[in-house]
Amino acid sequence: MTSRTISAVAARSVPSLSSARAWRFALLLGVAPNLVMLLALPFYVATRAFSPLLYVFAGQLALRAPPLLAYVLFPLIAVVDLGLVAMAVFNLPFGTAVQSMRYLASVDLTSSAFYLAVLGFFVANGVAVACLFNRNRQALRGAMVLPAVLVALGVALLERHINSPFLKQPAQSFESALSINGADPATIADAGRNVLFVMVEGLGALANPAHAAILSQRLQPALDTGRYTLSSGLSNFEGSTTGAESRELCGQWGDHTDYLGQARYDCFPAAMADRGYRTVSYHGFSHEMFERDKWYPSIGFQESYFLENLATAGDRFGQRCGSVFTGLCDNDVAGAIRDRLTKQPAERTFLYWLTLNSHIPYVAKQHGQLRCGRDSAEIANTQVCELTELWADVFADVAAIAKDPALPPTDIFIVGDHPTPLWNRAAAGHFTPHKVQWYLLRDNRQVTDRG
């Protein structure tokens, strides 16, 4: 056999980068699984940094397995794909997202038609890819995988480029509403005022001043008392809701996993407790979610009230709000907080309230003041309007607490936990990227002896 013959045989034996088989593989596994998402890019924000490559990897595995396995493998990859999209939307770090899987039993995913539709779409897409793959199985054997990898990388880069305005960038510096306003434990204790800190679920930074004014206007009844000065601004953020709790309550970037390892951490509630304050938290959902019953005491909360113990407190908490995250209604929790702060005026208190009902997917308020969904709506985008309506109700509840004559001198913070997690590109465009909003009602009254 001549050297020319040997070279010809070798060329036929090694997959070629330019072969039709290689590019069919690239088309079936680099393009087809991502085609619908690519077509949706002008309308929806869906960052999928690794998912396109996962379908190529699944194809390599499926070629070495019985055809039936493809109908399991590709839908499974599709579910992972959806999970990665949700992780990006909700600002969950990868490790936190994986750990969060254990909390799925605490939520009711079936109560959201949107969630079910999205899940059904991804699974159906996975089944369709499996069918297409099996129909071309023989033609794909021995194909060079590099073109498919290159195409998948191209898809990921294209999605990243189009979604770049909405992609989370690392915060350039640490900020919190407390640090921006110089609210450290020693200063607060010296002033002697109570602190009510309200963390509002999903409150990003509305970009349109007229839309942001809808929220600040709900605080006007408190300002009309002459007791408060209102200030507001924007803050950096990292992570999801527990990341926001670490930011505001412990003064550092992190999440709940950073506070599960020891009995005490040097956080704001603990420092306030050391200075004689009663430290109390309220949240209308289960204490099992993110193990708040375990780490809240470790960061200094002496009392914590969740769905489980509040629901037994008479008729006040008889109704439920929300869909996937069904829990207590924020308005009812606000009433309990008002009672706690006004009926024990001699007690110096640091009270933290994490709201619930604006968690996406949310249940829109019916017949609200903003007239959402109508031609006369104050915000044209229905989703942004409906969320603003829910946030406005929380602001109105806070104003009702603030203007109560029985409320002792109390500084009130209202802070967003993380930017609003929206899939709809038009809705997401209503917010300042990478920022959360904060408000401070600073009480101007002098503290007298409470004894």
Q: Is residue 451 part of a domain?
A: no
Calculate Rg over the CA atoms of the chain: 26
Statement to judge: residues 139 and 239 lie in one domain: no
Last residue of a domain, one of 114, 136, 166: 166
Q: Is residue 209 part of a domain?
A: yes
Q: Is residue 108 part of a domain?
A: yes
Q: Is residue 171 part of a domain?
A: no
**Domain encompassing residue 327:** 177-443
Number of domains in the chain: 2
Backbone angles phi, psi at 397, to 5 degrees: -65, -40
Q: Is residue 2 part of a domain?
A: no
Question: Mean pLDDT per 10-residue run, the chain (451 residues)?
Answer: 45 57 91 92 85 94 94 95 86 74 73 86 95 93 91 93 83 92 95 97 97 98 98 94 97 94 94 98 95 97 96 84 93 97 94 97 94 96 97 98 97 96 92 95 84 48
d(CA 283, CA 295): 14
* Sign, CA torsion 64/74/37/170: negative
Statement to judge: residues 137 and 212 lie in one domain: no
At residue 18, the pLDDT reads: 61
Q: Is residue 438 part of a domain?
A: yes
At residue 450, the pLDDT reads: 54
Last residue of a domain, one of 131, 166, 201: 166
At residue 313, the pLDDT reads: 73
Contact 58, 32 (CB under 8 A): no
* Sign, CA torsion 8/13/15/19: positive
At residue 16, the pLDDT reads: 61
Strand-pairing partners, residue 229, are: 442
d(CA 311, CA 332): 10
At residue 383, the pLDDT reads: 96
Q: Is residue 54 part of a domain?
A: yes
Q: Cα–Cα–Cα angle for 285, 286, 290, nearest 5°?
A: 105
Statement to judge: residues 289 and 356 lie in one domain: yes
In a 3-state reduction of DSSP, which class is residue 332? helix
CATH (domain of 318) = 3.40.720.10
d(CA 281, CA 240): 19
